[in-house]
Structure 1
Amino acid sequence: MSDVTPDQLPALPVTFRPGRTRTVLLAAGTALFLVITLIALLLEHLSPGERISFVFTAALLAGVLFLLARPKVVADEAGVTVVNIVSRRRLEWAEILQVHLRPGDPWVFLDLSDGTSMPALGIQPGIAKRQAIADARTLRALAEERSTAGPGAARG
């Protein structure tokens, strides 16, 4: 059961994402791209092709960091959109049976009505553990409140 009461639920839509982790990844990706590009421009002995290779490599590395910063979970009136590193999936509230963030889990897992479990990387304890726990509790409360089974109902 969730520690969040129905009157404490946020107004929808609400977006959950690892803010600090995202900031670090975006800053690192930008800095990496700028430094490698600057090096490519300052090294006089490089040919134009080598310079382009440096910039292309910098763009690829920055792109990977930007992809790692992409995860989020967006809850709205109709359901939840889970955006992971390279995938996006829309779920109706009734499809979400349970929301888990157990000690040691790298991110939240959603138990779905089709019998599968889905990772939701938008809520991860990494740098901001307390925020991730609060976000997981809020998402759990929203799922319980909006499920067709209703809050507190047994889930199978």
Structure 2
Amino acid sequence: MSAEAQWDLEVRSKKSARYAIATAVVLLISHLAVAFLLRITPTGVYFRTADQIALAGLGVLMASLALLLTRPRIRVGPAGVAVRNILSERLIEWDLVQGLSFPEGAIWARVDIPDDEFISVMAIQANDNDHAVAAVRAFRSLEKKYAGAQS
């Protein structure tokens, strides 16, 4: 069995990923254009090649940071719920999962765990509308299947 076959559901945000990619492209192009034009346009200040490289590098760094927003995902399967946000991923076993909630006014969903704690799920976002609703419904049907088997 492959690593991907163990998950019944994988969800990523659609709109946020598109916005992040568009932002990264704009940041990169604008920094590269300014870096290129830095020595051509007379500004009264003498810029060197190192300044151009630094500005281009800054654009690459900022675009890379923007692309981190494409990472969030949630995967659901027999082993539990794997939530990956921007920097970290956590596997929550079914015996700890107490549901998926989407509080009113919240930006994204959350997996409820014992002791009134929760783990934010940046992959299911309110701005995704029908995609988010479908993801919550799919999660809840799989939760019945797997969490019910744990009881």
Q: TM-score, normalised by structure 2?
A: 0.81
Shift of 1:149: 5.9
Q: Say if 2:123 is the partner of 1:131.
A: no
Shift of 1:37: 1.1
Aligned residues: 140
Which amino acid is the alignment partner of residue 89 of structure 2?
R
Tell me which residue corresponds to 1:31: 26
RMSD of aligned alpha carbons: 2.2
Higher CA-based Rg: 2
CA distance in 2, matches of 1:114, 1:91: 14
Q: String of CA shifts for 1:76-117, please: whole Å, max 9, x gaps.
A: 232221011122101122221111013211111111136521
Which amino acid is the alignment partner of residue 20 of structure 1?
K
Q: Please tell me whether the aligned partners of residues 10 and 76 of structure 2 are also in contact (alpha carbons under 8 angstroms).
A: yes
Tell me which residue corresponds to 1:145: 145
CA distance in 1, matches of 2:34, 2:130: 40
Q: Please tell me whether the aligned partners of residues 108 and 123 of structure 1 are also in contact (alpha carbons under 8 angstroms).
A: yes
Q: Please tell me whether the aligned partners of residues 94 and 148 of structure 1 are also in contact (alpha carbons under 8 angstroms).
A: no
Gaps of 5+ in 2: 1-5, 41-46
Q: Please tell me whether the aligned partners of residues 110 and 118 of structure 2 are also in contact (alpha carbons under 8 angstroms).
A: yes
Q: Please tell me whether the aligned partners of residues 9 and 139 of structure 2 are also in contact (alpha carbons under 8 angstroms).
A: no
Q: Please tell me whether the aligned partners of residues 16 and 122 of structure 1 are also in contact (alpha carbons under 8 angstroms).
A: yes
SS at match of 1:95: coil
CA distance in 2, matches of 1:136, 1:101: 9
Tell me which residue corresponds to 2:38: 43
Runs (4+) of structure 1 moved beyond 6 Å? none
SS at match of 2:87: coil
Matches within 5 A, 1:30-109: 30-44=25-39, 46-109=47-110
Gaps of 5+ in 1: 1-10
CA distance in 2, matches of 1:114, 1:103: 21
**Identity in percent:** 25
SS at match of 1:109: strand
CA distance in 2, matches of 1:99, 1:145: 14
Q: String of CA shifts for 1:103-156, please: whole Å, max 9, x gaps.
A: 211111111136521111110112x21211221121122112210466xx8xxx
